[in-house]
Structure 1
Amino acid sequence: MWQAEGSVNLVSMDLSGVSGFHEIIVLTPRGFEEGLDAVMAVREQRTVLLNLSEMEAKLAQRTADFVSGGVYALQGQERRVGERVLLFAPASVDIDQLS
């Protein structure tokens, strides 16, 4: 089972009418290697909110590129939700954006 290192919050959501729970991982990496935690979480069918605000700009971009590539390879999806905040989800999760 995936075990993150560093700053992680795990949120379980009760999705009424849907069997079981879906976990959302809130990850604030401080180093590039922690980007692998995000990819592994998506691989295990978890959604990841990746907050890159604690990283230097170039390292944050490198980490975002790495995670984006890994999630793309898993046929997952990505959405930018804020300045240096990205949402990554497995293909089984629908992400809707309201305008």
Structure 2
Amino acid sequence: MRQSNIVPLHATKKTKSQVILSEPRVFNEAQEIGEHLRQNRAVIVNMQRMSKDQSRQMINFLSGVVFALDGTITTISQNTLLCVPNNVELAGSISNLLGEDDINHKGW
């Protein structure tokens, strides 16, 4: 007897999406953030407690992870990024009220 490939709708399990809040202090925490993205979780990364050099490393690493996963990365404040995998669609934008001098002296 041939088995059916039809699955009843009530048998599917609904899963909730997760958004992870992360406040790394050192670059070594980047792999954990990357794992969240690989598991289709959006991550907000606040890098205010990191040094400027480690922040740059984190941005470079997460940019590569997001690119490999066909996701999106965007700045939501001076030291905060939003990284989303390809199963999350971003809509809207947050305006940057900081001048270029502010970013060069205070941010990345």
Sort the TM-score into its range (normalised by shorter chain): 0.7 to 0.9
Q: Which amino acid aligns with 1:34?
A: E
Of residues 69, 73, 78, the one that matches 1:74 is: 69
> Normalising by the residue count of structure 2, what TM-score does the alignment of the two structures yield?
0.70
Q: Which amino acid aligns with 2:47?
A: L
Flag as ranges the 4+ runs of structure 1 deviating above 4 A: none
Q: CA RMSD in A?
A: 1.3
Q: Which has the higher strand share?
A: 1
> Normalising by the residue count of structure 1, what TM-score does the alignment of the two structures yield?
0.76
* Percentage of identical aligned residues: 26
Of residues 51, 57, 61, the one that matches 1:56 is: 51
* Count of matched residue pairs: 81
| Distance in 2 separating the partners of 1:85 and 1:53 | 8
Q: Which has the higher helix share?
A: 2
Q: Which amino acid aligns with 2:89?
A: D
* 5+ long unaligned stretches in structure 1: 1-18
Matches within 5 A, 1:16-95: 19-95=14-90
Secondary structure at the aligned position of 1:54 is classed as coil
Deviation at 1:98, TM superposition (A): 4.4
Higher radius of gyration, 1 or 2 = 2
